[in-house]
Amino acid sequence: MGGDRRARGAEHEAAAGRCARLGHRRHRLHPRARRRPLVAAGRCRRARGRWDRGPAEPRRLVPPLLARRGWAVTIYEQFELGHRLGSSHGRSRIFRLAYPDATWVRMATESLRGWRELEEECGTDLLELNGLLEVVRDAGRSSRDGLRDAGADFELLDAPEAQRRWPIHVPDGWTVLFQPEAGIVRADLAQEAFLDSARKHGAELHEHTRIESVDDVDADVTIVTAGAWVRRLVPTVSVRPTRETVAYFRRDGAPIPSIGQLDPETRGHAQFSLHDARYGLKAGVHHAGREIDPDEPGAPDAELVARIAEWVARIHTDVDPEPVEAETCLYTNTNDESFVFERNGPVVVGSPCSGHGFKFAPLVGEKLADLAEAKV
């Protein structure tokens, strides 16, 4: 992505020169950073090579934000719009406020406001908030403390009460945390809304344009949000891509809350399920995929599909446990599941990643736009 702080349509009077490679200056979200001052922005007038464009969702939201601020913006996508080779495809992604750390809860709350603003702009419902159930052996290992410290609503339920309210099975002695401001983001509709907003504000889009080096981009500011491909362009970014597997199951009736069964050691979501607009239920195992080369094709892992189906049969009492479809999704992982914001000269890198970044797209878009303007 390239940008120019000038009236759109005016001639680019001075090229920014060749973009510098990123060094090790890094920002991770929980969002505090030391950032170098930025040069003035310049429109990406041409790409002499091909830019690795991954499916990281913030690249959809940064262009309209910058365009609204008076930048001329060009977006490069290495595939076609709507492709299913990366991280942001499909009909749904979990939205949740629930995190053990109140910092993340506050960030998710800020992102919720951003999603509502985008819904108002595009006139489309993007969020379906049916709640979230955290199923956990020990309530102290749930998101209870983070939600409480951030002032967010939640309920703690014992197994019989949770089973009375929803068609689920909870192991004896386990606890269920219910958080109402959660559910799904309609990922497919969200991507359309981001791009429609970008075009409305004058951004240009080039599909099937793969950039091999940031040096090939003639711009004053280059923003790299390449997902699993980010190390192709910025080798110093410390991330590891994996190919994850999700499966779909038939479930009739009104949507129920998304479910996350927590790992007692990491406090992260080990298994998860969420509403799917076509089949009724989508489910997966978090961080179970193998490290991969994102340019190599890969199919769903049959062993993981079987593992997912076994969990669905155990926890959902009204779902056909025979999967009807499976697909892959790429994760771009950091060691601690935090996000990467880096800035060196005219190059900005954003990688909200580790399998939980989609929900934060509005917040991350704002952060990257501010970083491009040297406001942070």
Mean pLDDT by 10 residues, the chain (376 residues): 43 28 34 29 28 42 79 85 73 94 96 95 95 95 97 98 98 97 94 88 87 83 87 88 96 97 75 96 92 92 97 98 96 84 86 84 89 76
Of 222, 194, 206, 221, nearest to 61 by C-alpha is: 194
The ranges of the chain annotated as CATH 3.50.50.60 are 2-86+187-237+336-372
- What pLDDT score does 39 carry? 27
Relative to beta strand 183-185, strand 93-95 is antiparallel
- How far is 360 from 39, CA to CA, in rounded Å? 27
- What pLDDT score does 200 carry? 87
Give the three-class secondary structure for 347.
Answer: strand
Q: Class for domain 2-86+187-237+336-372, per CATH?
A: alpha beta
- What pLDDT score does 176 carry? 98
The ranges of the chain annotated as CATH 3.30.9.10 are 114-185+240-333
Instruction: Point out which residues pair with 87 in neighbouring strands.
Output: none
- What pLDDT score does 267 carry? 65
Give the three-class secondary structure for 188.
Answer: helix
Prediction pTM value: 0.81
DSSP string, 272-337: EEEEETTTEEEEEETT-SEE--TTS-----HHHHHHHHHHHHHHBSSS--S-SEEEEEEEEE-TTS
- What pLDDT score does 35 carry? 30
Q: Class for domain 114-185+240-333, per CATH?
A: alpha beta
Ramachandran angles phi, psi of 5, nearest 5°: -80, 80
